Chains A and B, each alone.
Chain A
Amino acid sequence: MRLLTHNMLSSNIKGVTNGFPLRMEVGKVVEKTVDFNADFLRNMFAKVEWNALVEGSKALGYFELPDNVESSMLESDEFLHKFHHALLELHLEQGALICPETGRRFPVSKGIPNMLLHEDEV
């Protein structure tokens, strides 16, 4: 699972109001190279929740993203490459996503999060 996917998932348990972002419990991380596309990144920049991306990348062991950003940084190639790496190339392969409100654990196995709910959660 890429951090781009993590950036849109939220806890889907009934009644949870602050289900975003899901915390990560990390067993194994893998990296896969993706073609760099600056326009795609500029477009995504407006949509991602930056803090969730920074926290997510730190959880996966990548500490290069700045905590604070502004759109002028999109001119910098160096910044774009870091953003690219964090958003698209890092994968949570084994571990779990944790609901920030209830602590409920959604296991991630072979990169696939299991977000199925129990009967009393729907």
Chain B
Amino acid sequence: MKLKQLESHLGSLQQFDNPKIELEQYPTGPHIASRLLYTADNSFGDVKDKVVADFGCGCGTLGLAAALLGAKHVIGVDIDAESIEIASSNADELELDVDFIQCDIRHLRWRGGMVDTVVLNPPFGTRKKGADMEFLSTALRVASEAVYSLHKSTTRDHVKRTSLRDYNAVSAEVLCELRFDVPQLYKFHKKKEVDVAVDLWRFVPKTSSPKRL
């Protein structure tokens, strides 16, 4: 599938009806989501025929993109039942077979070694500081091949240092910097849209570590 095609499929997906502020529910736009998965597949071979998990899957954009690119098994995880319901109907709409689990990422306990690649657009931590790092740390324990994640560019040094030192990453690389439009979902946002600089990261987990969570 071509990048443009992927982006247009993702553009047709239903997004959050009533985004919940405290869960930082804003959609990963089709532009960013398509590039994230396309790069993971095309440049690194981390998607096709792989087992892929989407952490904080929301309405499912990243996980469904993985399925569109030929991932063999996709698991979307979110804490919020309403989002999963939308994600699940998005999957039906595209005739994709994806598993969803309602779970708090902080309490996720999976048998290690089963998931190849984790993709995520974590809460950036604007409501709860460090939320993105909790997601990343779990992703690096679950993945056996690679983790693709988005983090605010202002946190670049912190993400690099922490992932290499504390989170079991053997490499942490910024693939590109993107603009992320956090739409004016919430009344307290004064501007119509907040345009945030975001890094697309690729992390490689240590494989030699004991993989049981």
Cβ 8 A contact of B114, one of A8, A116, A122: A8
Within 74-101 of B, Cβ neighbours of A (below 8 Å) are at: 75, 79, 81, 84, 88, 97, 99-101
Question: Chain B's nearest CB lies how many Å from the CB of A76?
Answer: 21
| Known A1-B101, A7-B111, A9-B110; further 15 A-B contacts with Cβ < 8 A | A4-B114, A9-B101, A12-B109, A32-B97, A37-B49, A37-B72, A47-B113, A49-B111, A88-B72, A111-B99, A112-B101, A113-B102, A115-B103, A116-B102, A117-B107
A122 lies within 8 A of B107 (CB): yes
Q: Is the interface of A mostly helix, strand, loop or mixed?
A: loop
Question: Chain A's nearest CB lies how many Å from the CB of B134?
Answer: 14
Q: Does B73 contact A (CB under 8 A)?
A: yes
Q: How many A-B residue pairs have CB under 8 A?
A: 69
Question: Chain B's nearest CB lies how many Å from the CB of A42?
Answer: 12
B100's nearest neighbour on chain A, judged by CB, is A112
Q: Does A39 contact B (CB under 8 A)?
A: yes
Residue numbers of A with Cβ under 8 A of B are 1-2, 4-5, 7-12, 19-20, 32, 34, 37, 39-40, 47-49, 88, 110-117, 122
B110 lies within 8 A of A116 (CB): no
- Pull 15 A–B residue pairs with CB atoms less than 8 Å apart, ordered by A: A5-B101, A7-B114, A8-B111, A8-B114, A9-B110, A9-B111, A11-B109, A12-B108, A40-B49, A111-B100, A112-B101, A113-B103, A114-B102, A116-B102, A116-B103
Q: Which chain A residues border B88 with CB–CB below 8 Å?
A: 110-112
- Mask, B111-125, CB within 8 Å of A = 1, is 101110000000000
A8 lies within 8 A of B115 (CB): yes
Q: Which chain B residues border A47 with CB–CB below 8 Å?
A: 113-114
A1 lies within 8 A of B99 (CB): yes
Q: Indicate the size class of the contact surface on chain B.
A: 20 to 34
Residue numbers of B with Cβ under 8 A of A are 49, 51, 72-73, 75, 79, 81, 84, 88, 97, 99-104, 107-111, 113-115
B49 lies within 8 A of A5 (CB): no
In Å, the complex CA distance between A25 and B80 comes to 23
Question: Chain B's nearest CB lies how many Å from the CB of A2?
Answer: 6
In Å, the complex CA distance between A95 and B84 comes to 18
